[in-house]
A = this chain, B = another copy of it.
Amino acid sequence: MNKNYQIEIEKAHIRIKSAIHLTPILTSESIDLLAGCNLYFKCENFQKIGAFKMRGAANAVFQLTGNSAINGITTHSSGNHAQAVALAAKEAGLHAKIVMPSDAPKVKIAAVKGYGAEVVLCEPTLQAREDGVQKIIKEDGFVFIHPYDNWEVIYGQGTCAKEIYEQEVDLDALLVPIGGGGLMAGSILSTLAYSPNTQIIGCEPKGADDAYQSWKSGKHIPQTNPNTIADGLKTSVGKINFPIIMENVAAILTVTDEEIIAAMRLIYERLKIVIEPSCAVPLAVVLANKALFEGKRLALILTGGNVDLAELPF
């Protein structure tokens, strides 16, 4: 691998260290027994703002500070990235204007405002969101932080796997869910740098399997009409992340929503923690492929815990 990636992830980790939590790794004897292997759950649901997104947003925002030409930060998001950028901008002392769709949950809009960011509501379409951001870039001179297709965001997300390899050694595989691919790409760069013998397994819901289809066909196939409970994974893989993922995953494995819900329930019942449906995809992959992982030591990233408790699927 290009050694520069390692240097960039090291720099990112130093840059964001005071703004993030070193999240714990949890284990469960009873889940291990069911799965037939040893599972290490990296709990990004305990991260600041409740999701790994804080790592990438903080790195992207903090590396801009000191540049006097920066008027402020902007992005569009209905969820975790919006909160992460708002909090990172607040900690950096920068203005933030976040474009959010008018149908975003009120509690998320309130959280973004609570971090001191200005919220610009728009129609709930991707076009309206992108237009809103373009207007802020042009009129206010703000810098756009893409949620996943941005090298500084990818390096920031890579600090999660770096921590895993500092917390646990001799891992046979790292299982990561794939949405836009920022966490997956960052995890790959960290694995190549810090634990090159660890296999990398991408995990997707069958109802949003663009990375799997792309990997199988060798072509970048965007996601259309995603349909899955794992709402954090409906996004198409980004342009920067695509080649990194295609060249480095040992496999991409997919699971049904029923398998995702059963794994989610196991995590609530046995680990006693609150997670989003997307987080359960790697465990569902393990349970659906027991022979493949028998006796192995596997790390699984639990990406976040910002779930609407009234909408739990059990």
Q: Which of B50, B269, B314 contacts A272 (CB 8 A)?
A: B50
Contact of A100 with B by CB under 8 A: no
- List A residues 142-198 near B (Cβ within 8 Å): none
CB proximity of A107 to chain B, nearest CB, Å: 9
Contact of A278 with B by CB under 8 A: no
CB <8 Å contact, A45 and B272? yes
- List A residues 262-277 near B (Cβ within 8 Å): 265, 268-269, 272-275
Q: Which of B24, B274, B314 contacts A268 (CB 8 A)?
A: B274
User: Interface code A12-23, partner B: CB below 8 Å = 1, 0 otherwise?
Assistant: 000000000000
> Complex formed: what's the CA distance from A309 to B314 in Å?
6
- List A residues 283-314 near B (Cβ within 8 Å): 305, 309-310, 312, 314
> Complex formed: what's the CA distance from A310 to B310 in Å?
11
Residues in B with CB closer than 8 Å to A50 are: 272
A-B contacts, 20 of them at CB < 8 A, read: A24-B24, A45-B272, A46-B272, A50-B272, A265-B309, A268-B274, A268-B309, A269-B274, A269-B309, A272-B273, A272-B274, A272-B275, A272-B305, A273-B273, A273-B274, A274-B274, A309-B312, A309-B314, A310-B314, A312-B312
